[in-house]
Amino acid sequence: MAILVTGGAGFIGSNFVLEWFAKEREPVVVLDKLTYAGNAENLSAVFSDARLTFVRGDIGDRALVGSLLKDHSVRAVLNFAAESHVDRSILGPGEFIQTNMVGTFELLEAVRAYWGDLDATARGEFRFLHVSTDEVYGSLGPEDPAFTERHQYQPNSPYSASKAASDHLVRAYHHTYGIPVLTTNCSNNYGPYHFPEKLIPLMILNALAGKPLPIYGDGTNVRDWLYVTDHCAAIRAVLAGGRPGETYNVGGRNEMTNLEVVRTLCSILDELKPKAAGASYWEQVQFVKDRPGHDRRYAIDASFIERELGWVPAETFETGIRKTVQWYLSHSEWVQGVLSGSYREWVATQYGA
């Protein structure tokens, strides 16, 4: 038997696969389309492991998914595959609708056909774990309580709307067809292998390159930050002990403004990679026009998963962000591999030359 990890060459998916091989013995089938943010090099450390099967393909290819499920006797599907950058969804929402909504539908249909042919015991043990985001809940005010699993969905971007739709599909397939599903909604992840268009890796790499550090609006938008390996540990806990049909919010209990995040990054870089003449990387900060519909605050109440499954984050923001900066400083070859011409064009389009 094996698990099928979709989007397993992306940021969170690849970290999950690497953590899985470090802690488990079960084989893994990775299915990834290898779009701009999917990087097979993320999995280079385990390519020689006989337990890994890597397949380049689309979750929307129902026939391919069906054959993988049968050929590898898959006992669980973990769906990380998604278009996930809000800025990209604003400029071009079509890919988000296709991957996050239509793709999830096709994946669920392949799973439904496979699951229906299993014997009663295997059907009961099978799991479909859908990895989602806290952005489906919308935006919080400064004093509002954090998102719980029962918070009303109020997505405000094409990205979060497409993820909300996929969450609803997963829920419907449980209640209509009985498929044992699990959903996780996580806060902002950061850590190794993060594609450098998101805030933290973008700031690190721009700082080192002597480029401006673009901050939207006034920089006071608040996010809850979760170190990626803590997220992976939570997903393993949900897969092992989560109740079918249930949703688990996963957060780091690290609410910070974008300004605080960038200031912390600059301080660590000033220490680990000091500039000449005592200058600070903070001097490279530039405020840019805010993006449309920019949510002011996200915050996760993770007490349910802590209570039900005993999961708590191992990293504070201070320990996790230092590990992240050190990783980027020591993996320059990986960084250069992803800094393609198309990536540079995207950054110029989004933030201005």
Predicted confidence (pLDDT) per residue in 27-62, tens digit: 999 999 998 888 999 999 999 999 999 999 999 999
84 in a domain, yes or no?
yes
Of 29-43, 253-267, 334-348, the least confident: 334-348
Whole-number average pLDDT of the chain = 95
pLDDT confidence of residue 197: 86
- Given a cut of 80, whether residue 348 has pLDDT beyond it is no
Q: Span 162-178, mean pLDDT?
A: 98
CB-CB contact of 135 with 163 (8 Å)? yes
Q: Is 135 a catalytic residue?
A: yes
Q: Span 173-177, mean pLDDT?
A: 98
* C-alpha–C-alpha distance, residues 109 and 146, integer Å: 34
Active site residue: 32, 83, 137, 159, which one?
159
pLDDT in tens, 132-142: 999 999 999 99
Number of domains in the chain: 1
In terms of residue numbers, what domain contains 310?
2-193+227-254+296-316
Active site residue: 134, 197, 224, 255, which one?
134
pLDDT in tens, 262-275: 999 999 999 999 99
* C-alpha–C-alpha distance, residues 171 and 101, integer Å: 13
Confidence of residue 342 (pLDDT cuts 50, 70, 90): low
pLDDT confidence of residue 352: 62
pLDDT confidence of residue 189: 98
Smallest CA-to-CA distance from 230 within 210, 253, 246, 212 is with 253
30 in a domain, yes or no?
yes
Q: Is 159 a catalytic residue?
A: yes
Burial category of 189 from C-beta neighbours within 10 Å (exposed 0-12, middle 13-18, buried 19 and up) = buried
50 in a domain, yes or no?
yes
* C-alpha–C-alpha distance, residues 222 and 139, integer Å: 10
Q: Span 222-236, mean pLDDT?
A: 98
326 in a domain, yes or no?
no
* C-alpha–C-alpha distance, residues 264 and 270, integer Å: 10
Smallest CA-to-CA distance from 27 within 65, 1, 56 is with 1
Q: Span 270-286, mean pLDDT?
A: 96
112 in a domain, yes or no?
yes
204 in a domain, yes or no?
no
pLDDT in tens, 75-127: 999 999 999 889 999 999 999 999 999 999 999 999 999 999 999 999 999 99
Residue 128: CA atoms inside 13 Å, Cβ hemisphere, count?
26
Instruction: Order the strands of the 222-227 sheet from edge to edge.
Output: 188-190, 222-227, 255-257
Residue 71: CA atoms inside 13 Å, Cβ hemisphere, count?
11
Active site residue: 135, 167, 230, 315, which one?
135
Residue type, 154: Q
12 in a domain, yes or no?
yes
Write out the chain in H/E/C secondary structure. CEEEEECCCCHHHHHHHHHHHHHCCCCEEEEECCCCCCCHHHHHHHCCCCCEEEEECCCCCHHHHHHHHHHCCEEEEEECCCCCCHHHHHHCCHHHHHHHHHHHHHHHHHHHHHHHCCCHHHHHHCEEEEEEEHHHHCCCCCCCCCECCCCCCCCCCHHHHHHHHHHHHHHHHHHHHCCCEEEEEECEEECCCCCCCCHHHHHHHHHHCCCCEEEECCCCCEEEEEEHHHHHHHHHHHHHHCCCCCEEEECCCCEEEHHHHHHHHHHHHHHHCCCHHHCCHHHHEEEECCCCCCCCECCECCHHHHHHHCCCCCCCHHHHHHHHHHHHHHCHHHHHHHCCHHHHHHHHHHHCC
* C-alpha–C-alpha distance, residues 209 and 206, integer Å: 5
* C-alpha–C-alpha distance, residues 239 and 234, integer Å: 9
Q: Span 223-244, mean pLDDT?
A: 98
CATH assignment of the domain containing 61: 3.40.50.720
Confidence of residue 353 (pLDDT cuts 50, 70, 90): very low
- Given a cut of 60, whether residue 343 has pLDDT beyond it is no
- Given a cut of 70, whether residue 351 has pLDDT beyond it is no
What percentage of the chain has pLDDT greater than the value 70?
97
282 in a domain, yes or no?
no
Q: Span 141-157, mean pLDDT?
A: 97
Q: Is 134 a catalytic residue?
A: yes
